[in-house]
Amino acid sequence: MAECHALSTAMRYVLPLRNLTMTVAKAVGIPNEHLSTFKVT
Partner 1 sequence: MTLSQLRSSDTRALFARLSNFYDEDAGTQDDWSPLAFKAKCYDEDNPSFEQPMNGPNSEGNIEACKKECDTLEGMGVWEIVKREPWMNVLPCIWALKRKLYPDGTIKKLKNRLCAGGHCQTRNCNYHQRVFLPVISWSTVRLLLILSIILNLSTRQINFTSAFVYADIDKPPNFDQMTPQEQQCQGVFIEMPRGFPNPGKVLKLKKSLHGLKQAPKIWFNHLNDKLKLLGFVQCVDVDQCLFVSEKVILLCYVDDCLLYAKDPEDIQEVIRQLHAQNMQLKEEGSAEDFLAVDIKHDKEAGTITLTQTGLTDRIIKALGCDHLPLVTTPADTILHEDKDGEQATGDFNHASVIVMIWYLYGHSGSELGFALSHVSLFTHSPCHSHELALIQICLYLKGTRKEGMILKPAKFDTLFMDCHVDADFISVHGTERNLGMILCLPSPGPASSSASTIAPLSGLPSCRIQSPLAC
For the bound state, the minimum distance from the C-beta of residue 8 to partner 1, rounded and expressed in Å, comes to 9
For the bound state, the minimum distance from the C-beta of residue 34 to partner 1, rounded and expressed in Å, comes to 5
User: Is 21 strand, coil or helix?
Assistant: helix
Q: Which of residues 5-24 bind partner 1 (CB under 8 A)?
A: 5-7, 9-10, 13-14, 16-24
Closest Cα partner for 11 from 25, 22, 30, 3? 3
CB 40 within 8 Å of CB 3 = no
In the complex, the residues that contact partner 1 under the rule CB under 8 A are 2-3, 5-7, 9-10, 13-14, 16-32, 34, 36-41
